[in-house]
Amino acid sequence: MIYNRNNFAIAVLAPGAERHYLDGIHITPEFTEVTNGHYLVRVSRPEGLEVADLPAVHEIMTGKKKGQKIDFILPASAAKEIEKAIPKNGTIPILRNAWLGDNTNEEYIEFISTDLETHRPIKARKIEAKYPNTEAVLPKTPPNMSIGFNPDLMIKLCQQFKKMKINAVKLDLRGITEAMALSGQCPETLQKIEALLMPIKIDDAKEYQGAPQKPKKQDPPAPQPQKPQEKKTEAKPAAPKETKGTPARKPEKPAAPAPQDPPKSTGPKAEPGNLKKTIRENKEKKGIEIQFSSRPEAPVRDKLKKNGFGGGQSFSASGITGRRPRTCSLRNPFSQPI
């Protein structure tokens, strides 16, 4: 199993010798953790690193021994020593870690680190105790609200509360976009202190690295000189060669386009014999009213207009009654089919 500096750095949070089984860090195959009964801190193992990826050096114990049970308490003093022994820089990233050595047994723990020049095995006695069941205190329900904040700014604010000897700080949350409010009261002078800390947005896939940087403006690409376009000349058809004894052919004239018939009307056209009409007396207008089943043709409309009628399908002549001779002259033209 491979662990890095972050897994051992939490040893500074160990409470001390008050309870000996808490004076160390709990090593598991998935994480390392430390608690004092008031807080719990867990750090997962680095992902994507396996013992098989370590360089093949004979002096390095690669920790490939099978059957090792990884569930023990490493003393805090040994964890701090391992953290210092891990190389901070190096050309091979996997060497910036420490791994469990083959000499680990029921009584002792061995961690190994190296920079390929110096071999640093660290061996320590296990703390013989059972670590508290921290799984029982982990939240089982989703949080009501999640807010991100800058830890450096939070530390500064908390240090100010500590200088005023305030042991209990109140934290008010009003929303993921609202400022967090910290407040307290000095027990000696009874002075009140209030502080606001603005939240920050956190991407689940990326760690917060301060304020986002503005993208740099890129210079527009330099214009490239354009090549002059070559004029295209159309090839003329070659004239037919004349042979002796045969007269040269004259170019044929293009045939004239054939006359096209006028477009035929696709709309419905009423035949004169099928045009139906209704003639009745309009008492309100004191005249004659003629109605057709469809719009009559132009000659019929002209004849009606000359006799005082107007309109489309309904024609009327005011002031003409059925008793006057003019009425008969209007009816006579429609006695035959129109």
Better-scored residue on pLDDT, 166 or 252: 166
CATH of domain 2-135: 3.10.150.10
Q: What was the pLDDT predicted at 239? A: 56
- Counted residue by residue, the chain has a size of 338
For residue range 63-93, list pLDDT tens digits in order: 555 556 789 999 999 999 999 999 987 778 8
Averaged pLDDT, 154-166? 95
Q: What is the DSSP letter of 66?
A: T
Averaged pLDDT, 87-116? 87
Mark residue 222 as left, alpha or beta (left: phi above 0; alpha: psi -120 to 50; beta: remaining). Answer: beta
pTM exceeds cut of 0.95: no
Instruction: Quickly state the pLDDT bin for 109 (edges 50, 70, 90).
Output: very high
Averaged pLDDT, 213-229? 56
Q: To the nearest whole number, what is the mean pLDDT of the chain? A: 76
Strand partners, 124: 109
Q: What was the pLDDT predicted at 12? A: 93
Locate the domains of the chain by residue range.
2-135, 141-197, 272-334
- Tell me the three state secondary structure of residue 181: strand
DSSP string, 2-49: EE-HHHHHGGGG---SSSGGGSEEEE-SSEEEEE-SS-EEEEEPPTT-
Question: Is the per-residue pLDDT at 211 higher than 60?
Answer: no
